[in-house]
């Protein structure tokens, strides 16, 4: 009988999550990975189950703890997605429970060989900021760069970028600022930041967002 999602999650709970525990990660509520707070960062290592039952991908990424614009456990700012064929974009696949154990062992080897060293290279804020600047180049809405400017206390750059983003975002039909709660919250946070930058209270708002995100992480953890 082909493996199903329930069996996959059971295998992940038995093999994958205890290994993440030992690496200092707290389990996320979805049962597919975990996170750890590293100073001003949040590291995430998690599995994605493909629509093709039995297929898995490995995600690992780092977000900023004070970022109000992203789902810290799901939105990849700086990170990678890996599959199994020499860690290229090829999927790890198990056809039954026995194969799943081997696949999960292979993924854990990738965590040790690839994910953890990758995250370690980003330990300094300067290196992380360079990575954010690189991936933000050409983006229409570079929210991550806004956060970098705030952490750097480059408030003039942050305000200019916020105002530029807002001028475009309110005209973008892809957003629904009347009915979509996620979009409403995004615009609300953007307005709050613009106001804080204009009144000299950006640092206090940053601290508030750190506290708010810490509370959200606790809610999403087992």
- pLDDT-derived band at 72, boundaries 50, 70, 90: very high
Asked which of 120, 140, 167 is the last residue of a domain, the reply is: 120
Mean pLDDT, range 153-171, rounded to an integer: 97
Task: Specify the pLDDT at position 172.
Answer: 97
Q: How far apart are CA 71 and CA 26, in angstroms?
A: 16
Asked which of 68, 96, 120 is the last residue of a domain, the reply is: 120
Q: What is the pLDDT of residues 93-137, one digit of tens each?
A: 898 888 999 999 999 999 999 999 999 999 899 999 999 999 999
Are 144 and 213 in a shared domain? yes
Are 31 and 104 in a shared domain? yes
Task: Specify the pLDDT at position 89.
Answer: 58
Task: Specify the pLDDT at position 86.
Answer: 57
Helix axis angle for 181-199 and 202-219, nearest 10°, is 150
Are 108 and 55 in a shared domain? yes
Angle at the Cα of 107 from the Cα atoms of 90 and 17, rounded to 5 degrees: 135
Are 21 and 54 in a shared domain? yes
Are 101 and 169 in a shared domain? no
Q: How far apart are CA 220 and CA 28, in angstroms?
A: 6
179, two tokens: 């009915």
Are 18 and 102 in a shared domain? yes
- pLDDT-derived band at 155, boundaries 50, 70, 90: very high
Q: How far apart are CA 193 and CA 222, in angstroms?
A: 31
Task: Specify the pLDDT at position 126.
Answer: 94
Are 31 and 107 in a shared domain? yes
Task: Specify the pLDDT at position 222.
Answer: 75
Q: Domain range holding 112?
A: 5-120
Are 153 and 204 in a shared domain? yes
Q: What is the pLDDT of residues 171-215, one digit of tens each?
A: 999 999 999 999 999 999 999 999 999 999 999 999 999 999 999
Q: Where is pLDDT greater, at 28 or 89?
A: 28
Q: Where is pLDDT greater, at 52 or 155?
A: 155
| SS3 assignment, position 60 | strand
Are 161 and 206 in a shared domain? yes
Task: Specify the pLDDT at position 83.
Answer: 78
Are 49 and 74 in a shared domain? yes
Q: What is the pLDDT of residues 46-65, one digit of tens each?
A: 999 987 777 899 999 999 99
51, two tokens: 């629509």
Angle at the Cα of 22 from the Cα atoms of 19 and 23, rounded to 5 degrees: 90
- pLDDT-derived band at 85, boundaries 50, 70, 90: low
Q: How far apart are CA 82 and CA 84, in angstroms?
A: 7
Task: Specify the pLDDT at position 199.
Answer: 97
Pick the closest to residue 65 from 51, 77, 55, 56 (CA basis): 77
Q: What Rg, from alpha-carbon coordinates, does the chain have?
A: 19
Q: What is the mean pLDDT of the chain?
A: 93
Task: Specify the pLDDT at position 186.
Answer: 97
Task: Specify the pLDDT at position 150.
Answer: 96
Torsion of CA 212, 118, 18, 28, to 10 degrees: 30
Q: How far apart are CA 93 and CA 118, in angstroms?
A: 24
Are 131 and 25 in a shared domain? no
Give the Cβ contact number of residue 109 at 10 Å.
Answer: 11
Mean pLDDT, range 67-74, rounded to an integer: 95
Q: Where is pLDDT greater, at 200 or 83?
A: 200
Total domains, the chain: 2
188, two tokens: 């609300």
Q: How far apart are CA 139 and CA 19, in angstroms?
A: 36
Asked which of 95, 120, 145 is the last residue of a domain, the reply is: 120
Are 129 and 92 in a shared domain? no
């Amino acid at each position: 009988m082909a493996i199903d999602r329930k069996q996959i999650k059971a295998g992940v709970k038995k093999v994958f999550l205890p290994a993440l525990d030992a690496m200092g990660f707290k389990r996320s509520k979805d049962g597919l990975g975990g996170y750890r707070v590293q100073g001003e960062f949040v590291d995430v290592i998690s599995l994605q189950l493909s629509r093709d039952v039995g297929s898995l991908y490995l995600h690992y990424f780092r977000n900023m703890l004070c970022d109000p614009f992203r789902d810290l456990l799901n939105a990849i700012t700086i990170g990678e997605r890996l599959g199994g064929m020499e860690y290229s974009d090829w999927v790890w696949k198990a056809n039954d429970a026995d194969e799943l154990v081997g696949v999960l062992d292979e993924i854990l080897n990738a965590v040790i060989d690839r994910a953890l060293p990758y995250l370690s290279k980003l330990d300094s804020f300067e290196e992380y900021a360079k990575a954010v600047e690189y991936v933000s180049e050409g983006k229409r809405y570079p929210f991550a760069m806004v956060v970098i400017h705030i952490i750097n206390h480059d408030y003039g750059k942050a305000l200019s970028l916020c105002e530029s983003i807002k001028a475009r975002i309110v005209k973008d039909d892809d957003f629904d600022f009347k009915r979509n709660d996620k979009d409403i919250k995004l615009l609300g946070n953007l307005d709050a930041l613009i106001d804080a930058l204009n009144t000299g209270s950006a640092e206090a708002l940053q601290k508030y967002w750190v506290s708010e995100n810490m509370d959200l992480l606790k809610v999403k953890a087992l």
